[in-house]
Amino acid sequence: MFCAGVSSHTLGEIQSKFSLAPASLPIRYLGLPLCSKKLSVNDCDPLISKIRIKINSWMHRHLSLDGRLRLLSSIISGIIVFWTQAFFLTKTVIRKINSLCSSFLWHEKLDCPTGARVAWYDVCFPKAEGDLGIRSISSWNETSDLKLIWMFFFRFGSIWVAWMRSRYLNRSSFWSLKEDNATFSWMFRKILKLRQKALSFLRISIGLG
């Protein structure tokens, strides 16, 4: 149980009633790390370890290139999507994951970063453009976080939205906030940097009246 801003008396009542022990950040919830600062590589170790375990379990099956591609496009992408819907993954973490996936795809083993037939950046282009169609982690991470902006305005029943609006949007418009404000969390500053891109998706429909 994580408690912030809770009096010792109230904390004691909660502990006695629910048999819960207090903890401090970072803690894990639903398999994800809860922390108030920028995710470090160590925070993402569970993600990288899970991908390693999955790939290790496939390596003895002597899969074809197409089989390995399908596993990366479905199972590994699903694991990554779960994380990217909650966090901005750092470039270092994305590079580590891409290296594992590239090694498995081209060499059917881990930690063999050289000798790839095609650069991983090119592999992530759609099949319609002549490439393998593996989802780009960077692009998907950005897309997932654009959804967070959408949630600010259309998901008022969300506890997360209510907390963020109370903390950051109670006095100023989302569009007028300064993204370099040091009092904002790292995550919220990253969201603010996506505003210009989010604006390109806004449409105004003028009707009668």
Q: Give residue-wise pLDDT tens across range 80-128.
A: 988 888 888 888 999 999 999 988 888 888 877 666 677 777 788 777 7
Q: Average pLDDT for residues 184-206, to the nearest whole number?
A: 87
Asked if pLDDT for residue 22 goes beyond 90, the answer is no
d(CA 92, CA 27) in angstroms, rounded, equals: 22
Helix (H/G/I), strand (E/B), else coil: 6: coil
Same domain, yes or no: 69 and 17: no
Same domain, yes or no: 70 and 21: no
d(CA 43, CA 26) in angstroms, rounded, equals: 8
> Confidence class of residue 1 from pLDDT cuts 50, 70 and 90?
very low
Same domain, yes or no: 70 and 26: no
Q: What is the pLDDT of residue 193?
A: 92
Residue 91 lies in a domain: yes
d(CA 164, CA 169) in angstroms, rounded, equals: 7
Q: Average pLDDT for residues 169-188, to the nearest whole number?
A: 88
Q: 0.85 exceeded by the pTM?
A: no
Asked if pLDDT for residue 51 goes beyond 90, the answer is yes
Domain stop point among 111, 135, 159: 135
Same domain, yes or no: 75 and 49: yes
Domain stop point among 108, 135, 162: 135
Asked if pLDDT for residue 5 goes beyond 50, the answer is no
Residue 124 lies in a domain: yes
Residue 40 lies in a domain: no
d(CA 39, CA 33) in angstroms, rounded, equals: 9
Q: Contact, 59 vs 109, CB < 8 A? A: yes
Residue 117, both tokens: 């037939």
Residue 75 lies in a domain: yes
Q: Average pLDDT for residues 22-29, to the nearest whole number?
A: 67
Q: Exposure pattern of 9-41 as b/e (b: 16+ CB <10 Å)?
A: eeeeeeeeeeeeeeeeebeeeeebbebeeebee
Cross-strand pairs, 124 = none
Q: Contact, 9 vs 17, CB < 8 A? A: no
d(CA 84, CA 86) in angstroms, rounded, equals: 5
Q: What is the pLDDT of residue 36?
A: 66
> Confidence class of residue 192 from pLDDT cuts 50, 70 and 90?
very high
State the pairing for strand pair 32-34/27-29.
antiparallel
The domain total for the chain is: 3
Residue 18 lies in a domain: yes
> Confidence class of residue 205 from pLDDT cuts 50, 70 and 90?
confident
Which residues span the domain enclosing 151?
142-199
Residue 66 lies in a domain: yes
Same domain, yes or no: 101 and 61: yes
Q: What is the pLDDT of residue 2?
A: 42
Q: Average pLDDT for residues 153-173, to the nearest whole number?
A: 86
Helix (H/G/I), strand (E/B), else coil: 29: strand
Same domain, yes or no: 108 and 165: no
What is the amino acid identity at position 31? Answer: G
Q: Average pLDDT for residues 131-149, to the nearest whole number?
A: 86
Residue 39 lies in a domain: no
